[in-house]
Amino acid sequence: MKNSKLFDAELAAKSEKLGHITGEWLQEIYDQNLFKLFVPKELGGLELAFPEALRLEEKLAKLDGSLGWTVTLCAGAGWFVGFLDPNLGSEIFSDPKVCLAGSGYVGGKADLQGDSYTISGSWTYASGALHATHFTANCELLENGFPVLDKKGNPIVKALILKRDEVEILDGWSYMGMIATGSHAFKTENLRIPVNRAFEILPEKVTLPDPIYRYPFLQFAEATLTVNILGITRHLVDLIEETFWKRNDYRQYDKRHLNYFKKVSEKQNKKLKSLKKEFYEEVELSWKELQKEGKISKFNLKKVSKSSRKLTQSCREISGRLYPFAGLEAAKTHTELNRVWRDFNTVSQHSLLIFPF
């Protein structure tokens, strides 16, 4: 990504003002196929190994939180290609500007009537909604108006693919950070779509051979969200340290205070580096096992989950420990430091990684 416009810091501030990533960034994403990190090469994708994709997502998140998150969530939705009807997958992903946005929220109902579903509902937090070509929507299933239940009596839920012109986007992102993700809500009413637009993320439902589609969705999601929090944390730590030393240039802290800051900073950076190393080692181990054995043991999956949560929790602690050294610069709403702080304190609230276990 050398000489890429993705490194243009001014585009981050511009994106926040727009409420979505800029056209310049979007074009770079298309040119580099970043929404297709996990899509097969025959469909124009990058077909990256999981650890390689995570490192790229971390790098993007360090450049800008909204940029990294948008690519991560839209590329993550692109991962669903491995569970789609092959003809539908080819139709959707042949578009070089394809982008799937979606929500994990079960916000609708899909009534099976003959060879089509009739869908109504609304869904929240669809990152990338403003430039998405398709949306994924989780729905409780009905058949001719009656609920479809599993053996335990619980509603059966499936995800469905909706086209951009089949939904209405609702301006629903009113949070202090991650503004440029454009994570708006969307809805549809009495929409009829063919049955092949429904899919399930289950091992027995995989339709493509690449091992990435057999990486369990929970750990896939935990890891991809973790690297975003990690990237934003690294950006925040760099800015706090830079701001502290600039303040020292005109304020001249005494040696005792400078030594204290150095000690705290070194300790937190060492901790972050160690936990990052541990996290990637667990991911690499699970990926190699998947490639060799065709599946990942429960033991190694638990280790991926544990290292993801441990790293995320430590990012919160490290951010909080170093934040006071930023001074009032962090509270100026127009500064890069403030934007990154707001992004961090928004994205780290994701429900999947709140608890450390």
pLDDT digits (tens, 9 = 90+) for 338-353: 999 999 999 999 888 8
- Read off the DSSP letter of residue 47: -
CATH no. for 215-353? 1.20.140.10
- Alpha-carbon gap, residue 182 to 173, rounded angstroms: 7
Q: Give the C-alpha separation, 9 to 338, whole Å.
A: 14
Q: Please tell me the distance from the alpha carbon of residue 181 to that of residue 61, in angstroms, as a whole number.
A: 12
pTM: 0.95
Ramachandran quadrant class, 315 (left: phi over 0; alpha: psi -120 to 50; beta: rest):
alpha
Q: Which helix (H) or strand (E) holds 83?
A: none
Helix (H, G, I), strand (E, B) or coil at 237: helix
Residue range(s) in the chain whose domain bears CATH number 1.20.140.10: 215-353
For the record, the structure tokens of 24 come out as 């310049």
The distance in angstroms from the start CA to the end CA of the chain is 36
**Average of per-residue pLDDT values in the chain:** 95
Amino acid at residue number 216:
P
* C-alpha dihedral (281, 284, 285, 286), degrees to nearest 10: 120
The CATH number that domain 5-83 falls under is: 1.10.540.10
Which residue is associated with the tokens 């991911």?
Answer: 283
- Which CATH code for domain 102-205? 2.40.110.10
Mean pLDDT of 250-278: 96
pLDDT tens digits, 16-72: 999 999 999 999 999 999 999 999 999 999 999 999 999 999 999 999 999 999 999
**What is the C-alpha to C-alpha distance for residues 72 and 36, in angstroms, rounded to an integer?**
10
CB 231 within 8 A of CB 62: yes
Range(s) within the chain of domains with CATH label 2.40.110.10: 102-205
* Residue 154 backbone phi and psi in degrees, to 5: -90, 150
Residue 243 pLDDT level (bands cut at 50, 70, 90): very high
Q: How far apart are CA 255 and CA 261, in angstroms?
A: 10
Q: Which of 154, 87, 162 is nearest to 121 (CA)?
A: 162
Q: What is the pLDDT of residues 145-198, one digit of tens each?
A: 999 999 999 999 999 999 999 999 998 788 999 999 999 999 999 999 999 999
